[in-house]
Amino acid sequence: WFFQLGSVSPLLVQANHTSALGHIENVNFTMSPTSMSMGCHVEGSSVSAFWYSLFDNGTNYCNLHNVITGSGLSKVSGFEEFTNEWFCLGIGASSC
Ligand SMILES: *[C@@H]1O[C@H](CO)[C@@H](O)[C@H](O)[C@H]1NC(C)=O
Ligand SMILES: *[C@@H]1O[C@H](CO)[C@@H](O)[C@H](O)[C@H]1NC(C)=O
Ligand SMILES: *[C@@H]1O[C@H](CO)[C@@H](O)[C@H](O)[C@H]1NC(C)=O
């Protein structure tokens, strides 16, 4: 699998992720200020081109999760991840 980086600005990073099966998912990371000083809020969104990917076993979740862990961001002190099955259907079945 690989990511193709699209437009990058200080507030929005866009990319496409292509899976081993050749499925393409559209991925965004949106940065926004927080009320916490020295804090940073990043919202990740990954959407498949195929409707049946609703039952994707966490593929879209892993697209985002792997970038965050791969970049080392998840090891930074104070790091918190917030998601659940409602935001991210299939997360319970994911194994990234
Ligand atoms: C992602 O793929 C879509 C559909 O193929 C294309 O329109 C879009 O430009 C691509 N974006 C990036 C960041 O490559
Ligand atoms: C990413 O952001 C673009 C521009 O705001 C939007 O059109 C697209 O639907 C977003 N994609 C995802 C996966 O949220
Ligand atoms: C999700 O997992 C189930 C059970 O292993 C499998 O039948 C299904 O094809 C998987 N879906 C995808 C999109 O990989």
Q: What is the pLDDT of residues 53-69, one digit of tens each?
A: 667 888 899 999 999 99
With a 6 A CB cut-off, is 28 part of the ligand 1 pocket? no
Mean pLDDT for the chain overall? 88
Residue minimizing CA distance to atom 5 of ligand 3: 57
Q: What is the pTM of this model?
A: 0.81
Residue 25 Cα, ligand 2 centroid: separation in angstroms? 11
The gap between the terminal CA atoms of the chain, to the nearest Å, is 12
pLDDT at 40: 85
Q: Enter the tokens of residue 34.
A: 């927080």
Ligand number nearest to the C-alpha of 46 = 2
Q: What is the mean pLDDT of residues 3-15?
A: 95
In order of their start, the domains of the chain are 2-90 (3.30.310)
Residue minimizing CA distance to atom 6 of ligand 3: 57
Q: Enter the tokens of residue 52.
A: 């049946």
Across 1-96, where does the E strand assignment appear? 2-8, 12-18, 24-32, 41-48
